[in-house]
C-alpha cells in the first residue's frame, strides 16, 4: 500500500514521466496524453495516466529535492511496478549551456548524504539507463533540438551560499538541479530504467532566466524527447 500515491493496482503505466511541479504534470497530461485520467491528488501531487501513440503512459509530480522525489520514485518502483521513469524538469545552466537548452544527464553527482545513509556509507555514482539515453540523444539530433549530454549535479540547497558552484564548474558539470541523483540511485536499487532530461530555465551566473509561466507549463522539447526515448 502506497502512502503518498492513491492509485489502484493497474492505474499507473510501466512508463512514467516525472516533473517536479504537479501543475506541469497536469499540463503534460492535457497536451500530450489521449484520454488522461487522474489517479492521484494526495497532497496535490497530481498524477495522470493516458495514452501516447497507442501506449499507456503516466505522468506524476514529485516535488522538489532528493527526499521528495525519493518518496515518489520508491513507491512507483516498489508498489506500482514502474519500469521506465524519466524526469523532465528545470535546471540552472553552466557553460557551455544556454538558456532553454536541453541537458540529457549521463550521470548525476550530488552533495547530499542520502546515498551514503542508504547504502552503507558508499559513494554511489548513479548513471542513466544507456538505452533511454541513446534514444533521447538520437531523437534530439533528428529534431535538431539544442542539447548537451554529460554530467549534472543534484544539490540539497536551492539557496546555496557555499563555493560548491566553482567545484561543479571545474568538473564540467552542465547543469544543477535537486532530484536526478536520487532517481538514478533508486532505479539502480530496483533494477529499473531511468533518465533525466532537464531544460536550462536560468543561468547560474545570473545572465538569464525564464518566466514562472514557462517553468509551470513545461518545455516542449524535453517532454517530446522523453516520450521518444521511453516508447
Q: Which residues are known to be catalytic?
A: 202
Alpha-carbon distance of 1 to 229, in angstroms, equals 30
- Nearest partner of 203 among 56, 67, 73, 92, judged by Cα: 92
Cβ pair 209, 201 in contact under 8 A: yes
Q: Please name the residue that has the C-alpha cell 516525472.
A: 18
Ramachandran region, residue 196 (left: φ > 0; alpha: ψ -120 to 50; beta: rest) = beta
CB 46 within 8 A of CB 25: yes
What Å distances lie between residue 227 and 98, 165, 170, 173, 210, CA to CA? 23, 31, 32, 25, 23
Is residue 91 within 8 A of residue 108, CB to CB? The reply is: no
- The C-alpha cell 554511489 sits at 124
Amino acid at each position: 500500500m502506497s502512502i503518498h500515491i492513491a492509485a489502484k493496482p493497474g492505474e499507473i503505466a510501466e512508463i512514467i514521466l516525472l516533473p517536479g511541479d504537479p501543475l506541469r504534470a497536469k499540463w503534460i497530461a492535457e497536451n500530450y496524453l489521449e484520454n488522461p485520467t487522474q489517479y492521484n491528488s494526495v497532497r496535490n501531487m497530481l498524477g495522470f495516466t493516458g495514452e501516447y501513440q497507442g501506449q499507456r503512459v503516466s505522468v506524476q509530480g514529485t516535488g522538489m529535492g532528493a527526499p521528495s522525489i525519493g518518496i515518489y520514485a520508491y513507491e512507483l518502483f516498489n508498489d506500482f511496478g514502474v519500469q521506465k521513469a524519466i524526469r523532465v524538469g528545470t535546471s540552472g545552466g553552466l557553460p557551455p549551456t544556454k538558456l532553454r537548452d536541453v541537458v540529457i544527464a549521463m550521470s548525476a553527482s550530488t552533495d547530499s548524504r542520502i546515498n551514503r545513509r542508504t547504502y552503507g556509507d558508499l559513494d554511489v555514482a548513479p548513471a542513466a539507463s544507456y538505452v533511454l539515453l541513446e534514444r533521447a540523444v538520437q531523437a534530439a539530433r533528428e529534431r535538431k533540438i539544442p542539447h548537451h549530454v554529460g554530467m549534472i549535479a543534484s544539490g540539497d540547497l536551492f539557496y546555496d551560499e557555499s563555493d560548491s558552484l566553482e567545484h561543479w564548474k571545474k568538473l564540467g558539470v552542465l547543469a544543477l538541479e535537486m532530484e536526478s541523483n536520487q532517481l538514478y540511485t533508486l532505479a539502480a536499487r530496483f533494477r529499473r530504467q531511468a533518465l533525466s532530461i532537464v531544460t536550462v530555465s536560468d543561468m547560474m551566473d545570473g545572465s538569464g532566466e525564464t518566466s514562472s509561466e514557462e517553468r509551470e507549463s513545461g518545455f516542449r522539447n524535453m517532454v517530446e524527447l522523453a516520450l521518444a526515448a521511453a516508447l
